[in-house]
Amino acid sequence: MKRHFAKDFWEKNKKMIFREAEKRDISDMMEVRMSVRENVLQTPGLVTPEITADFILRRGKGWVCEVNGSVIGFSIADLEEKNIWALFVKPGYEGKGIGRKLHELMMDWYFTKTRDTAWLGTAPETRAESFYSRAGWKRAGIVHQGEVKFEMTYGSWKSLKG
């Protein structure tokens, strides 16, 4: 049933656009980041517009999803730390395949730039933890303040892509 719902959403929202993030998108990306119900940013000063610009313009690359001209999701890969820095979808748009598409764009790009294993951290027992497990990420311990650490190798990503 969920797949049918996602298909209906895509068909109704033909103006959905996935594209590389630009500096002008940062305020919208910050709005999405602050709107999430899980993995809530505990210290907003750690994610400023300047830091976000550095991640999408110098350290790595980002992508956004727009629906009817509004950014409703984004992802960012960091080549310096070999890290997936962000993947967030605005509440009300979850479960529609947007995160999956942003993830695919980000990981395809990441592995065209490096063969190094990518890692990320996310809060335990969240939808994000389930999402990454279903997407083929492997648990690799604990990071930060008890976040679950996941890793994705180049070989694993290529085999998932078939």
Show me where the domains of the chain are located: 2-161
Distances (CA, A) of 98 to 102, 155, 158: 6, 24, 21
31 three-state secondary structure: helix
**What DSSP string runs through 60-111?**
EEEEEEEETTEEEEEEEEETTTTEEEEEEE-TTSTTSSHHHHHHHHHHHHHH
CATH number of this structure's domain 2-161: 3.40.630.30
pLDDT tens profile 89-125: 999 999 999 999 999 999 999 999 999 999 999 999 9
Kindly list the averaged pLDDT for each block of 10 residues, start to end, along the chain of length 162.
52 78 96 83 76 96 95 98 96 93 98 98 93 96 91 96 84
22 phi, psi to nearest 5 deg: -125, 165
Query: What is residue 36's predicted lDDT score, i.e. its pLDDT?
Result: 84
Query: What is residue 16's predicted lDDT score, i.e. its pLDDT?
Result: 87
Query: What is residue 6's predicted lDDT score, i.e. its pLDDT?
Result: 54
Query: What is residue 11's predicted lDDT score, i.e. its pLDDT?
Result: 55
